[in-house]
Structure formats: C-alpha cells, structure tokens
Structure 1
C-alpha cells in the first residue's frame, strides 16, 4: 500500500509541477520572442523611413552611415534594396541566401510578415525581419534585418533552467511530503493490525465445528496492509463471537446441570423438615429459602443465555404463524393474569385506550414473557397505592408497548444500569436476581426491537418495548 500511495502522490505532484512549469516556460519563451521581434521591427521601420527619404532626396549616404553604425554596434546584418530589388545598402547580408531572397520578395510585394516561431534555447541563431520601403501604394524597396537570437535564446535558457531547478526542488519537497504522509497514514494502521493480531492470539481458538464466515478481505480485496488488517479483524471478530457463544453455552450448560442437584437438595431438605427441632426451624427455613433463591437465579441465567442466542429460538419455533401475534390481545391477557397480584399488593393495574389490533412479528408467548418482567417489577417495587398502566401504540413499521407506573421509581443515576446483569436498584427490597430486565432486553433485541427504561416526573418508571410490526398476513 505504501508503494501505491507513494506512486499516486508522486504522479499527482508531477502533474501539478508540470501544469505550472510548462505553461510558465512557454509564456517566457513567447514573451522574449515578442520582445525581440518588436525591437527589430522598430529598427526595420526606422531604416525603411530613412530609405524612403533617401529615395526622395536622391542621396543614400545618411542611410548607409546609419546602417553601418547599426551593424558595428549590434553585429547584425542589414540589407536595403531599391524598387528593382537591387541592393542599395548592404551591411554583411548574403544576398544569395534563400531566406533573405524570400524576405525581400515578400516585403517588395508589401505582404503581411509571417508570425515568427517561438524561440527556444536550441532554436535558429538568427531571425529575419523585413519591412517595405514607401507607402502601401508605392513600394520603393525593402529592408531586411538578420537579427541575432543568441541573447534571447540565452535568456530563455536561463529562465528554463530556473524553472527546471524549481520543479526539481518542488518534486523533492513533494516526495518528502508524500513519504511523511504515507508513514503518518500507515503507521497507526500497522500498529492497529499488530494489536489486533496480538489480541486474536490471546483469544481462545475457535471450535473445530464452527464454520468461519467469508472474510472482509476475501470479499473486497484491497492493498496488502488493508488485507492484513481485515484478516486480523476477521479472525478477532470470529474468535470473539465464538467465545461469546461458548460463554453463553457454558452458562446455559452450568445452569442446566446444577438444577438437578438443587432439585435433589430441595427434596432432601423437605424430607428433613419433620426431624428439625424447633430451635433450628428458622435456620432450616432460611436454608430452604436460599436454595429456592439459588434455583431462581439458575433459572434466570438459563433464560438469559437462551434469550441471547437467537438460534435457540429458531430451533423451538414450530410454525411460521407462531412468530406473529396481536399485541393488544397479549396486553389484555397479561392484564387478566396480573390483576390479582396488583390487587394483593394494594395497587391498581389498568389498560390505556389502544387500537383495535396491533400485529407484531413476535410470538405471543415471547411478548408475554417480555411484559411479565416490568409487570412483576411494578407489582413488587412500585409500592402501595401505585397505579400501573399498560399502553399499546402503533407507528409506521413498529408497535410500542409501554408499562408505566407512578411508584417510587429509581434514582436517576441507576436508570441506565437497570438492564445490566445482576444489577438491582438501591431502593429495591431484598429478593430478586437482577436478571429480569436483562432477559427482557435480550428477548427484545433478538427480534429486532428495543427496550428502553425512562423515569417519569415527578416519580415512577416507564418500560418501553418497541418491536417490528408484522407484515400483512
């Protein structure tokens, strides 16, 4: 990846430098060429005026003296011809040179001068500048200057050297920047890949019967560094998922295996009850209560392990229709089932006005199991005189069932912890395992829904269960 990144940045830098250097070089060459042409054109026009005056006066000595001084001063050849094309003044020009002959002929025909080619450091050593003598109606001869391009080409060459040196310096700076940038980008990537590899090596190896999913690198490819990181991440994710599954399976197996010894222990304790003296009866009843609490705790762990393994639910679903139910009907059933418990706790349970029906993509027994948790908590912890309400609401694609009470509630700092395993509110009385809401949350999430816990002002608690609505059947 570093090589590709460096190549890409280098190509980009080269394009940027060339896009600046090439137009600048051409502009300098064009400007210097135009400067030379304008200067020699002015000299040719001056000689043409002097030649026209010489024709009018019939004396060409002033013209000859001016041409001679120009030739000595600049070292450039000058040719002046009369109307018949005969050389009138010649300062070093070769009258047989085809270029000179063509320039003279064009000027005598009063043709528009051709555009001069852009000068380059390796261009021609001279350039011809021709002007007609006289007006456009009457041409009395021509002037040709064989201008030297040495100085102009030298100026262009020096400017181009400066541009090349500047371009090389810019490319060097770009390369250093590209190397620094590539290291800055790839160093944390390499460190992350190494850290993921170390973490993966420390995780338990996946079981032999586990089928690994298709890797990210196998699906998308990419540079070697990215493929290595993707491979390490895939291995880590696979190992973590397998470890989580193994952990849930261990919890489920342990809870299931311990239920039989606890059941046997309960039977033995029941058989020992007649033989327990009155002085030890309270201790014996306490031991029985602890066994019952431990049994309930194992049942909760087993339920939580099953709730966190969606595949376990798929194995026990018998028919496709069992995955759908009417939330309004389930709420009515739970109201009937819990009325007596709330009445015994000196509380009131009611159902808020609801729609005629609200089908959810959840089995009726699962939704009932989810709702039993907040209903049980309300009846146990809301306090005497509390009012609990069951409400069903629908929205596009979703059905929400809420259990809210105006009881004692919990402290604000404990709201977000209520779905944490084994957490119990500080105001909750003795009893309970702290697994009810985590189990309900796991059951809800396993079916694509969410469970939320919110405080009610001025006091109370609301448990919201939001589940996907069932499609039309």
Structure 2
C-alpha cells in the first residue's frame, strides 16, 4: 500500500501497531489456554499413574476400592475432555441448536430434582417457580445443560444450607436465578465467573472436581439464545447467585 505524506504514514504505522498488539494478545491467550489445559490434565493423569504403578509394584492392593478410585479419576479425565471439546465448539460458534418453543418452568423443576440427588446431606435443593408454565424459544437440551451447570456448580460449593433455583418474568425476558448459601465469590472475582477455567479458589478442583469450563460453555449457549448471564455475591462465605436472562417466546 502506498502512503502519501506524513499523515498517511502515521496512520499506517498506527494500524500496523494495532495489528501487532492484537496478534500478541491472541498468542498470549493461546499460551494461557495451553497452560490451563495442561494443568487440568496433569492432576488426574498423575493420580491414575500413581495408583496403577502402586498396584503393579505390589505397594497398593489391587482391590475393588482401589480400582473404583482409578475409575473415578478416569471419569473425571473423560468429563474434562468432553468439556474442552464443548468449549472449543462454543467459542468457534459451531454448537448445534434445535430451536423450538418449550416450557422453561418445567425444565427448571426437572433439573432441580436431578441436582437434589447430588447435594450434600442436609442441603435442601428446591425450585421457586411461581408460574405453572413460561414459554421460551430455545434448544431444550442446551438449556438443560445450562441449568445443570449452574445447579451442579452451586451444589458442589454448598456444604450446608440450601440451593434454590427461581424463575420469573421481567419485561419480556425469562430470568433464572440459582442462589446458594455456600462458599460465596470474592467481589474482585465476580467479573470472571463465566471465564474458562475460572475458580475463585484454585484449590477447589481438588475436592469438588470442577475445572471451570461449565459456566464458560453456559455463557455462550445463553448468548446464542439472545440472552445474558450474571453473577452476584456478598463475598466469601456468604453464598452466591448465578443466573441468566433469555427472551420469552
């Protein structure tokens, strides 16, 4: 491209610098993603290796309990790979959707019943759905995935108290809120809740199994439904509310 005069040279220089900055940022994001994936894969692989080597060398008993532990680690690894694939498709805009009119109230009740089966003893998981039916235009399987991610995240981080999924209507939108009395989220971390690999406490995954991918996938699904996501918390130890808004049918 020819440049006529100092002004055009300066403009070309600015454009080149912006392009270079953009490429550098993209490369940094790629490096960070690779590092995050490697970190998430390392723990379950190390656990499997240690147990298998221990059994092979006779240090650990090759009994049913030990094999069950290995299977659990393999399942965790498999779920992580599935989540990574789902996130890759979501970020590339290649998730498949089968849109149709559906009752979001019924979907919330169904997923709450499913989540209650996995809650800690004494934790009450309930639905606060005033309307008998609330129609939205969406993909039932994908919206079920979003609800499941929000509820499972709340259940994992709530050892006592309650997890409540509410559904309401607000100016043409259906609003889902999942509120828990669990660990809470520091104010500084709230803007990053829906970022991939987010965890307010990096030690959480060791005892909860969360890799921080479900909410990132959920955000993309909600956005593809013309909606938005949100997260609220009064701080650590004070519970949290995570939810989404999508247009009503």
Report how many aligned residue pairs link the two structures: 224
Residue from 292, 306, 312 that aligns with 2:89 = 306
- Are 1:323 and 2:100 matched, yes or no? yes
Aligned residue in 1 for 2:248 = 469
- Are 1:351 and 2:131 matched, yes or no? no
Tell me the TM-score normalized by structure 2: 0.72
Q: Report the CA distance between 1:270 and its aligned residue.
A: 11
Tell me the TM-score normalized by structure 1: 0.40
| Cα separation, 1, equivalents of 2:205 and 2:83 | 18
| Cα separation, 1, equivalents of 2:176 and 2:14 | 44
* Deviation string, structure 1 residues 148-176 (Cα, Å, up to 9, x no partner): xxxxxxxxxxxxxxxxxxxxxxxxxxxxx
Q: Report the CA distance between 1:278 and its aligned residue.
A: 4.3
Map 1:247-262 → 2, pairs under 5 A: none
Contact in 2 for aligned 1:307/1:446 (Cα 8 Å): no
Q: Report the CA distance between 1:415 and its aligned residue.
A: 1.8
Deviates more, 1:305-314 or 1:279-288: 279-288
Q: Report the CA distance between 1:443 and its aligned residue.
A: 1.3
Map 1:50-61 → 2, pairs under 5 A: none
Flag structure 2 segments of 5+ consecutive residues without an equivalent: none
Aligned residue in 1 for 2:155 = 379
| Cα separation, 1, equivalents of 2:21 and 2:240 | 43
Aligned residue in 1 for 2:141 = 365
- Are 1:428 and 2:209 matched, yes or no? no
Distance 1:190 1:391, change over 3 A: farther
Distance 1:359 1:309, change over 3 A: farther
Aligned residue in 2 for 1:221 = none
Q: CA RMSD in A?
A: 4.1
**Which structure shows the higher helix fraction?**
1
Q: Report the CA distance between 1:368 and its aligned residue.
A: 0.8
Map 1:63-462 → 2, pairs under 5 A: 187=7, 191-197=10-16, 199-200=18-19, 277-279=58-60, 291-314=74-97, 317=98, 322-342=99-119, 344-384=120-160, 386-426=161-201, 428=204, 430=206, 431-456=209-234, 459-462=238-241
Distance 1:312 1:464, change over 3 A: closer
Q: Report the CA distance between 1:389 and its aligned residue.
A: 0.9
Describe the SS at the equivalent of 2:156: helix
Q: Report the CA distance between 1:272 and its aligned residue.
A: 9.2
Describe the SS at the equivalent of 2:133: coil
Q: Report the CA distance between 1:192 and its aligned residue.
A: 4.4
Describe the SS at the equivalent of 1:312: coil
Distance 1:339 1:438, change over 3 A: same
| Cα separation, 2, equivalents of 1:295 and 1:201 | 37
Relative contact order higher in (CA < 8 Å, ≥ 6 apart) = 2
| Cα separation, 1, equivalents of 2:73 and 2:115 | 26
| Cα separation, 2, equivalents of 1:417 and 1:298 | 22
